[in-house]
Amino acid sequence: MNQNTPEGSIPSGSAYRPYYSYAPEMQSERNISDQSPPISSASSAPASSASPASAGRPAPRPAPAARPARQSSASSAPSSKSTRYGLWAIVAVVLIMFSLVAVIYIAADGSSGVGSGNRIAVIHVSGVMYTGDFMYGSGIAGSDSVARHIRAAADNNSVKAIVLRIDSPGGTAASAQEINIEIQRAQAMGIPVVTSMGDTAASAAYYVASQTDYIFATPATMTGSIGVIGRHVDNSSIYEENGVNITVFRSGEFKDMGADYRGLTAAERAYWQHIIDVSFNTFVNDVAAGRGMTREEVLILADGRVFLGEDALKNGLIDDYGNLYTAADKAAELAGISSYTLVFPDRVTLSSLLF
């Protein structure tokens, strides 16, 4: 579990920006103008160039100059208008199709699979774990969001089981513990919770998985990493080199512990280690309880190492190999149902964006 806070926000959302360009129409008007004959072509010859046959006759009246600009503008107007109508028609069709798909998806509640009224909720723990509310797909697994989806699933009478789809390198101890509270609440209500690990489920993410009823992974999954880490950065030499002087007023000896403008005292180092040790003991004890292992068995594995799924299975950190659908079948078995429909409450839908 990483005790650090995120260093900067993670961007989310789409960079796509639709725009309309009328450059092709403007170019066609310029081409028409360029192809028109010069205005002075009919009368530019001097009078002395007249042929002998025309001598003594009044010169013919020159033809009126053409007005290509006005004519090209008039002729291109219908084309320009029809192009605009065509673009609006395309936009309207796209919006109608999107609305129909959204209505169908919302009506199905993000469901997939064949089954009855029995539902199994698939809830994702994806990205680095922190406390807070972050949308699925943002790169951060917020404990507020995950806990809210677990609680809503547990309170829904049609949901018979929950599958946690975990793909996370870990995060803070507090975020894992907040999620674990909701896992234990669901279990107390008789709703089994099964884990399906993706590429990675390490540290705080394994902490969460260890509290579920059954864990699936693949032989290539990276998991484990039972341990706690904290860090302190001492930038005092940088401040000194740049002539920055810092005056501190504090109410107690430890109030500015961890500040980057100075190193740690011996007492502060000892206290930091105490914080790490307490968090580590809680981690180990909870994993032992969740996995049905002794504390000593967990301590052998709790040196911070990550394990491939194959080694994790041998050491009792996971229960079996499988994917999301294997986990869903196991959840149905534990719930005592023979048919079910998968629902994905944390997927982004039109309704989640609007409300």
**183 in any annotated domain:** yes
pLDDT band per the 50, 70, 90 thresholds, residue 29: very low
Q: Is 21 helix (H, G, I), strand (E, B) or coil?
A: coil
62-76, 114-128, 214-228, 237-251: least confidently modelled range: 62-76
273 and 295 belong to one structural domain: yes
Euclidean distance between CA atoms 136 and 347, whole angstroms:
7
347 — pLDDT class (breaks 50, 70, 90): confident
C-alpha distances (whole Å) from 202 to each of 198, 218, 221, 320 are 11, 14, 10, 17
The reply to whether the predicted model has a pTM over 0.75 is: no
Cα 12–chain centre separation? 6
Domain carrying residue 94: 70-108
- Tell me: pLDDT of 293 over 80: yes
Does 174 share its domain with 119? yes
- CA dist 59 to 37, 105, 351, Å? 22, 80, 80
For the segment 62-94, what is each residue's pLDDT rounded down to a tens digit? 555 555 554 444 445 555 666 777 777 777 776
Of 43, 54, 112, 255, the active-site residue reads: 255
The rounded percent of the chain whose pLDDT value lies above 90 is 62
pLDDT digits (tens, 9 = 90+) for 120-177: 999 999 999 999 887 777 888 999 999 999 999 999 999 999 999 999 999 999 999 9
The span from the CA of 286 to the CA of 292, in Å, is: 10
Residues 218, 309: contact at Cβ < 8 Å? yes
Same domain, 220 and 240: no
Q: Which residue has the higher pLDDT, 106 or 141?
A: 141
Of the candidates 349, 334, 345, 327, the one whose C-alpha atom is nearest the C-alpha of residue 165 is 327
Are 320 and 173 within one domain? yes
Residue 346 has pLDDT above 70, yes or no: yes
Average pLDDT, the chain: 79
Q: Is residue 63 part of a domain?
A: no
Under DSSP, the state recorded for 339 is -
Task: Give 32's pLDDT tier (boundaries 50, 70, 90).
Answer: very low
Report yes or no on 28 lying in a domain.
no
Marked catalytic residue, from 143, 196, 203, 225: 203
**Same domain flag for 218 and 341:** yes
* Domain count across the chain: 3
Average pLDDT estimate for 38-44: 38
Q: What CATH code is carried by the domain that includes residue 174? A: 3.90.226.10
203 tagged catalytic: yes
pLDDT of residue 11: 34
Asked if 41 is an active-site residue, the reply is: no
Residues 124 and 206 both lie in one domain? yes
